Structure 1
Amino acid sequence: MRTVGVEEELLVVDPAGVPVPLAPEALEVAARRGEGETVGEHDRAQQSDAAPDTDAAGAPAGPRLVPELKEQQIELGTRVCRELDEVAAELRHWRSRADAAAATVGARVAALASSPVAVEPETTPGERYAQTVEVFGLTAAEVLTCGCHVHVSVDDDEEGVAVLDRIRVWLPVLTALTTNSPFWSGRDTGYASFRSQVWNRWPSAGPNAVFGTPARYHQLIAELVATETVLDEGMVYFDARLSATWPTVEVRVSDVALRVEDAVLLAGLVRGLVETAAREWRSGVPAPEVRTEVLRVAGWRAGRSGLTGDLVDPRTGQPAPAAEVVTALVEHVRPALGDSGDTERVEAGIADLLRRGTGAILQREVFDETGDPAAVVRAAVAATHGD
């Protein structure tokens, strides 16, 4: 069974619901507990080519709570998991530990992919973060978005690139399933995921063409770094990529999910996609030759309406109701879900999500009732922790 791990970025907010730049202080507390990494330690780690230590099972060892680009963010990372129950337990545990660390400095954490409240983002201290803002200007200075990245194990780069070539057409559906950022600068954007719009300002972000071979993949990475536009390989922000540190495919298209169960559903679907793609590759099924421009439009449409409108159906390239396209995704990965024991959980998660809607729906419902962006944040804090 392929292993899976999840990284989530969370907003740090005060009791009133306003994002506050208290992540460095909260992480100092977490570090003293052995759960977190200080800003200085993380900055040094980012500049090092050395892989992090691992435990006996090959999972990353050490802190699970780390800084992000903005002082209003904390990132968590699960250990390597085999079962979706493990993913759920890890996410609940580390959301709780991040919240406990934030509470020591008078704050909470919320799984929101953007802030409903207008806020001035403050850049985390550190050489790399300062360089990022200097190079990318307003794109880096004003960004305050929280995503979810899912890692799934692959045997080697050959299998990994074959997977990337075959899952790319389905990634916009994952964006639609996790939409959780309808607000920006205190106003409704009209998008279900405005994070996906903001994220695509980065020059290396978005979908890519079929790679074909690991050599072509790594050649492209080297060519991007050689432009001296991105700082290093870590800033190649493809929708999905090979991890530079772990033997995994990393899928990066999703908003952070408001509810833990939606993040677990995402992890199950990504693992199913990776396994399905690997089987197709071994069976000689060619990668779909869909133009990158079409995928960019499909991703835009997914971020615009989420599950409330039409999505681009990867099978036809034509619009179809979101529920129909989501059902097609489940059918596409059903054999892999069955072999990993994930079918029942994924089907139940899809049914629940289609019934109640994504985090974007909840945010708008609260705002329609209250007219108060801060009330949206407070409701999100409760949902983040299962209340």
Structure 2
Amino acid sequence: MSLAPVSAPAARTAPGADAAAPTLRTVGVEEELLLVDPRTGRTVPGGPAVTRWAAPAGSDAPGPVAGVVVPLESELQQEQVETATPPRTAMADVAEDLRRLRRAADAAARSVGARAAALATFPLPVAPVLTPDPRYEAIAAHVGLTCAEQLTCGCHVHVAVSCDEEGVAVLDRIRPWLPVLTVVATNSPFWQGADTGYAGYRTQAWNRWPGTGPADPFGSAAAYHAVVAELIATGTVLDEAMVYFDARLSAHYPTVEIRVPDVCLDVADTVLVAALARALVDTAADRWRAGEPVPADPTCVLRMAAWRASRSGTADDLVDPATHRLRPAPDVLAALLDHTRDALAAAGDLAVVEQGLDRVLTRGTGARWQRGVAQATGRLEDVVAAAAERTVA
């Protein structure tokens, strides 16, 4: 992953609220993509071969595929690859990076007769093939069927923070809003050949893993690291990378990593997610510096909100972060916009987010598009082929 921020301080830890916020926080986006055969609509277990066709990280030399000058990383299953943007401050640059990386991944995938598809779950029945790697093999042996059946693709947004204290203050304050962020990225209605009834079934599949979901407020960086150490000490997660909180401190970069979104079918929706993620971090950090207390949202209620977001997407009622009661999706998304409005305006992202939220409410997310293709053609294979085209459109 190539997400080391270019404008955030390099130190991982620093004393409390005296640390200055970055003038404009950098954002980096990781996208997991599926490798598919558009002729058959099936997956292609070509991840290790595809990543060998990309230039190594930091290289200026072109890769074996013309125009591929980008590192691609293998993922848990051989049917996946991962891309990572450089850290950026402008959302226009994030959008261009995402388009470039998707084209590069698709070009590399063609070397093994595949295409790259931004699908958060695979619509058809599939038995994933584990990537040969000692850590992945240890995970597979440890968690059994949960790993054997896991083929999901997420979008992880890294937002720069000045220090771990600021990062944990952010984690404690963005908790109630993460289910709403899930909603705008829902792109996984199908699983093993069936319509799940969910807009974002990836959330359900992913939450079978230990260490996933919302965490209780931590209160301090020391408490956060102590909890992570306790989780590892249980032997249930094998290392820090398996602490899969909905949002966490990155183990490698001075960032908060927000992990709840599905990989989005359209780059514009990914940019919407990235802009909202940065605005949530900015808003939370500002409130921490102002001395505002951490919201007292019970973690069990946040789990219900996340389930509802996964089930409903933009098509039905959602749990309001303020009242914990059901409200229409447009009202809850409007509340998210109001909550982050000042931060969005300060970053120059307000218009992008207003237009993006209007777009997903009007035409729906990737979940609605996938169902539309399936209804029109009657074939999930056509959903796969059309998604491969749309991924790089």
TM-score, normalised by the number of residues in structure 2? 0.90
2:43 corresponding residue in structure 1: 19
In the TM superposition, what is the alpha-carbon distance from 1:12 to its structure 2 partner? 0.2
1:299 corresponding residue in structure 2: 306
Counterpart contact for 1:64–1:94, Cα < 8 Å: no
2:342 corresponding residue in structure 1: 335
In 2, Cα distance between equivalents of 1:32 and 1:168: 36
In 2, Cα distance between equivalents of 1:202 and 1:285: 33
Q: 1:262 aligns with which of 269, 273, 290?
A: 269
Counterpart contact for 1:35–1:65, Cα < 8 Å: no
AA partner of residue 128 (structure 1): R
Percent pairwise identity: 56
AA partner of residue 78 (structure 2): E
In the TM superposition, what is the alpha-carbon distance from 1:64 to its structure 2 partner? 3.1
In 1, Cα distance between equivalents of 2:375 and 2:304: 29
SS of 1:255's equivalent? coil
Q: How does 1:89-238 map to 2 (within 5 A)?
A: 89-238=96-245
In 1, Cα distance between equivalents of 2:124 and 2:79: 13
Counterpart contact for 1:153–1:248, Cα < 8 Å: yes
AA partner of residue 197 (structure 1): Q
Q: 1:28 aligns with which of 45, 52, 56?
A: 52
Q: 1:284 aligns with which of 275, 285, 291?
A: 291
- 1:271-326 Cα offsets, whole Å, 9 max, x none, are 00000000001111111101000000000000001110011000111100011100
Q: 1:241 aligns with which of 223, 238, 248?
A: 248
In the TM superposition, what is the alpha-carbon distance from 1:359 to its structure 2 partner? 0.3
Change (3 A) 1:262 1:208: same
Counterpart contact for 1:11–1:72, Cα < 8 Å: yes
In 1, Cα distance between equivalents of 2:210 and 2:290: 35
In 1, Cα distance between equivalents of 2:46 and 2:73: 13
* Larger displacement relative to structure 2 (25-34 or 339-348): 25-34
- 1:213-269 Cα offsets, whole Å, 9 max, x none, are 111101000000111111100000000000011000000001000000000000000
AA partner of residue 81 (structure 1): R
SS of 1:314's equivalent? coil
Q: 1:82 aligns with which of 61, 82, 89?
A: 89
Counterpart contact for 2:56–2:71, Cα < 8 Å: no
Counterpart contact for 2:176–2:321, Cα < 8 Å: yes
- 1:312-351 Cα offsets, whole Å, 9 max, x none, are 0001111000111001101100100111110111111111
In 1, Cα distance between equivalents of 2:47 and 2:381: 19
2:10 corresponding residue in structure 1: none
In 2, Cα distance between equivalents of 1:342 and 1:63: 27
AA partner of residue 298 (structure 2): R
SS of 1:11's equivalent? strand
Unaligned runs of 5+ in 2: 1-23, 62-68
Change (3 A) 1:35 1:225: farther
Counterpart contact for 1:35–1:64, Cα < 8 Å: no
SS of 2:159's equivalent? strand
2:32 corresponding residue in structure 1: 9
In the TM superposition, what is the alpha-carbon distance from 1:65 to its structure 2 partner? 1.0
SS of 1:75's equivalent? strand
In the TM superposition, what is the alpha-carbon distance from 1:26 to its structure 2 partner? 1.2
AA partner of residue 80 (structure 1): P
AA partner of residue 193 (structure 1): G
Counterpart contact for 1:64–1:78, Cα < 8 Å: no
Change (3 A) 1:32 1:103: farther
AA partner of residue 8 (structure 1): E
TM-score, normalised by the number of residues in structure 1? 0.91
Q: 2:319 aligns with which of 297, 312, 317?
A: 312
What is the number of residues matched between the two proteins? 361
In 2, Cα distance between equivalents of 1:286 and 1:123: 44
In 2, Cα distance between equivalents of 1:184 and 1:85: 33
1:383 aligns with 2:390: yes
1:274 corresponding residue in structure 2: 281
1:68 aligns with 2:98: no
Counterpart contact for 2:55–2:71, Cα < 8 Å: no
AA partner of residue 9 (structure 1): E
In the TM superposition, what is the alpha-carbon distance from 1:378 to its structure 2 partner? 1.0
Counterpart contact for 2:121–2:190, Cα < 8 Å: yes
In 2, Cα distance between equivalents of 1:383 and 1:166: 35
Moved over 6 A (4+): none
Counterpart contact for 1:243–1:250, Cα < 8 Å: yes
Counterpart contact for 1:151–1:251, Cα < 8 Å: yes
In 1, Cα distance between equivalents of 2:309 and 2:277: 17
Counterpart contact for 1:15–1:106, Cα < 8 Å: no
- 1:130-181 Cα offsets, whole Å, 9 max, x none, are 1110000000111000000000000101110000000000000011111100
In the TM superposition, what is the alpha-carbon distance from 1:31 to its structure 2 partner? 4.0
In the TM superposition, what is the alpha-carbon distance from 1:15 to its structure 2 partner? 2.3
In 1, Cα distance between equivalents of 2:71 and 2:331: 37
- 1:92-141 Cα offsets, whole Å, 9 max, x none, are 00000000000111110000000011111000011111111000000011
